[in-house]
Amino acid sequence: MDPGGSEQDPEMKEQYASVYVGREEDIKRSERITAVVHDREVVIFYHKGEFHAMDIRCYHSGGPLHLGEIEEFDGRACIVCPWHKYKITLETGEGLYQSIDPKDPSAKPMWCSKGIKQRIHTVTVDNGNIYVTLSNEPFKCDSDYYATGIFKVIPSSF
């Protein structure tokens, strides 16, 4: 696989090479695993027939997303961070919140998006094996803060 293209420098190319993280049947059974992909900790969820990978530590304050529950909000599957209950969509990494029109307090709260807050990585299934390719989307994602530097190590207890 060469998600970064063949013209990248070799170090960059290496960082975005896909990494084997486990057997498809095992991850389907456990419904989640943690893995280290090129020195970055990620969690891979299996939910309703699809695999999703994201940075393991919550963008808000570094909470352990691999220990959260998956729930649906506004029809979107989210991991709920066990620390302060932030909701993050599995598919896109958006932070969801509820808002209400202050001029109309009787209105029903609406689900809104803060935009992409948690970096999502690519999961590939090949011949019963699962691979993760790190995102190289060139935007600053809030979860990058906890995926690098002194914060990046989290004891895996799942």
Interface residues toward ligand FES, by CB under 6 A? 58, 60-63, 81, 83-84, 86
Q: Which is nearer to ligand FES, 58 or 116 (CB)?
A: 58
Q: How far is the CB of 136 from ligand FES (least distance, A)?
A: 24
Q: Which is nearer to ligand FES, 68 or 123 (CB)?
A: 68
Closest CA to 35 of 156, 141, 124: 156
Closest CA to 129 of 35, 54, 11: 35
Q: Please report which residue ranges of 20-93 form alpha helices under DSSP H.
A: 24-30
Provide CB contacts within 8 A for 106, sequence distance 6+. none
Q: How far is the CB of 57 from ligand FES (least distance, A)?
A: 8
Angle at 90 between CA 66 and CA 78, to 5 degrees: 80
Q: How far is the CB of 28 from ligand FES (least distance, A)?
A: 26
Q: Which is nearer to ligand FES, 28 or 84 (CB)?
A: 84
Q: How far is the CB of 68 from ligand FES (least distance, A)?
A: 8
d(CA 3, CA 11): 14
d(CA 16, CA 29): 27
Q: Which is nearer to ligand FES, 63 or 93 (CB)?
A: 63
